[in-house]
A = this chain, B = another copy of it.
Amino acid sequence: MISVTKDFKMIDGGVCAAAGFTANGCNCGLNKDKNKNDLGMVFSKTLCNAAAVYTTNKVKGAPIIVTKRHLEATGGKTHGFIVNSKNANTCNADGEEKAQKMCELAADVLGVAADEIVVASTGVIGQKLPIEPIASHVSELAAGLSPDNHGKAANAIMTTDTVQKEVAVEFEIGGIICHMGGMAKGSGMIHPNMATTLNFVTTDAAVSSEMLQKALSDIVKITYNCLSIDGDTSTNDCVLLLANGLAGNAEINADGEDYETFKAALYTVMMNMTRMLAKDGEGATKLLECTCFGAPDLDTAIIVAKSVIRSPLLKCAMFGEDANWGRILCAIGYAEADFDIDKVDVDIASAKGTISVCKNGSGVDFSEEKAKEVLGEDEIYIDINLNQGNTAAKAWGCDLTYDYVKINGDYRT
């Protein structure tokens, strides 16, 4: 139903699955837990075409500003990025200076120009970023760059995440095998809008800057932008897509079959990372996947699916395994889109089966016993059929639990 879906071979390697990309991560001391990395780097000797999508929050982290500036200066080319967790380097008077310094430190040890490196940070807002721990560890970080160390980089970007998030696929362009892989972080403050939390995708496919950006914008709209953990749009959201062309395919520089294949691979990587982010939402015990079918257009489908996924009341009901479908109808009803509520059907499903709870906008009888069984699973599907068109979209989220409150009641300490 999502037209870009294809079956690809899933592979290992995360952000280093594509040829020519190396990575590393270490603990430089920003995080007091020495077993948790807090500084990461991803590098391609071959200069990459880069596409990016950033947060729409007016408060923009200093790294976002510096990354934008560097990509503008180089016409969208980069060798890679340096990234830290534990401190977002946002709302600090010296933020841009520090973000620029991170790029310079990395560029120096990598032997490239400072504006050929971009930067990202995630963590607490409004605390000054100490540069010394980064300066004293950047040589070690670069020395350890290897295709095998993708996991160390994925670990470095985690904040309240409980699992590392890496996905990679193999795909074919004109008979040439290409690879694409990504890593993501994010657990709270997630309600992406034209961008998302930190997500990095690399590929060895050759793709023009223009088509790379087009594919990224299209796929962000139906993956990361359809994710909501708590309705809070972060100040540091950023998706970076780097293509170094080492696979040797003829460059994709126009619409057509090759572009569609590339876009489908990108959807697979980003959709799977989105699901991982939703499932690892702060305090979450359940992944919620809401599909809105039968919509008159894509925007309506997205708006309805996201409205349901965002509802705190529904999220609590799912935590309580309570089939309180009135809350689904309520959230469909306040979605800011134009449709007829009296045609709407709703099913709730999981690996244990499906219950139909609403037909034509009114409740239908269902077995509470069966509902308990269905809702006992840890992946819950909410299927909404508007019955007024042929378009569909998905949104992803999670339940709202005691642990979300606990984690966020005292985040800074």
Roughly how many angstroms separate A363 CA and B175 CA in the complex, as a whole number?
Answer: 55
B126 touches A358 (CB 8 A): yes
Contacting B at CB under 8 A, from A373-413, are 400-402, 404-413
Interface residue? A322 (CB, 8 A)? yes
Interface residue? A232 (CB, 8 A)? yes
A317 touches B408 (CB 8 A): yes
Roughly how many angstroms separate A397 CA and B59 CA in the complex, as a whole number?
Answer: 23
Contact among B124, B332, B361, B407 for A326, CB-based, below 8 A:
B124
Contact among B56, B231, B333 for A311, CB-based, below 8 A:
B231
Roughly how many angstroms separate A317 CA and B124 CA in the complex, as a whole number?
Answer: 13
Which of A18-26, A87-95, A162-170 lies at the interface with chain B? A87-95
Interface residue? A246 (CB, 8 A)? no
Interface residue? A309 (CB, 8 A)? no
Q: Using Cβ atoms and an 8 Å threshold, which residues of chain B touch A329?
A: 59, 91, 125-126, 235
Contact among B124, B189, B330, B402 for A405, CB-based, below 8 A:
B402
Interface residue? A275 (CB, 8 A)? no
Q: Using Cβ atoms and an 8 Å threshold, which residues of chain B touch A407?
A: 316
Say how far A384's CB is from chain B's closest CB, in angstroms. Answer: 13
Q: Using Cβ atoms and an 8 Å threshold, which residues of chain B touch A193?
A: 334
Interface residue? A312 (CB, 8 A)? yes
Interface residue? A181 (CB, 8 A)? no
Q: Using Cβ atoms and an 8 Å threshold, which residues of chain B touch A362?
A: 91-93, 126
Interface residue? A280 (CB, 8 A)? no
Q: Using Cβ atoms and an 8 Å threshold, which residues of chain B touch A60?
A: 333
B320 touches A231 (CB 8 A): no
Interface residue? A127 (CB, 8 A)? yes
Roughly how many angstroms separate A317 CA and B409 CA in the complex, as a whole number?
Answer: 4
Q: Among the interface residues A92, A313, A324, which one has the most CB atoms of the partner chain B within 10 A?
A: A313
A188 touches B126 (CB 8 A): no
Say how far A346's CB is from chain B's closest CB, in angstroms. Answer: 10
Q: Using Cβ atoms and an 8 Å threshold, which residues of chain B touch A312?
A: 230-232, 312, 404, 408
Contact among B230, B232, B341, B405 for A59, CB-based, below 8 A:
B341
Contact among B316, B322, B409 for A413, CB-based, below 8 A:
B322
**Hey, what's the 0/1 contact readout for A94-105 against B, CB within 8 Å counting as 1?**
000000000000
Q: Using Cβ atoms and an 8 Å threshold, which residues of chain B touch A124?
A: 324, 326
Roughly how many angstroms separate A400 CA and B312 CA in the complex, as a whole number?
Answer: 11
Contacting B at CB under 8 A, from A320-371, are 320, 322, 324-327, 329-335, 339, 341, 358, 361-363
Interface residue? A54 (CB, 8 A)? no
Q: Using Cβ atoms and an 8 Å threshold, which residues of chain B touch A233?
A: 330, 333-334
Interface residue? A9 (CB, 8 A)? no
A125 touches B326 (CB 8 A): yes
Say how far A264's CB is from chain B's closest CB, in angstroms. Answer: 31
A324 touches B411 (CB 8 A): yes
Roughly how many angstroms separate A311 CA and B326 CA in the complex, as a whole number?
Answer: 24
B333 touches A232 (CB 8 A): no
Interface residue? A78 (CB, 8 A)? no
Can you list 9 A-B pairs with a CB-CB distance of less than 8 A? A57-B334, A90-B326, A125-B330, A126-B329, A189-B327, A189-B330, A232-B334, A313-B411, A317-B411
- Across chains A and B, which 8 residue pairs bring their CB atoms closest together, nearest first? A125-B326, A320-B409, A59-B333, A316-B408, A126-B363, A57-B333, A58-B333, A233-B334
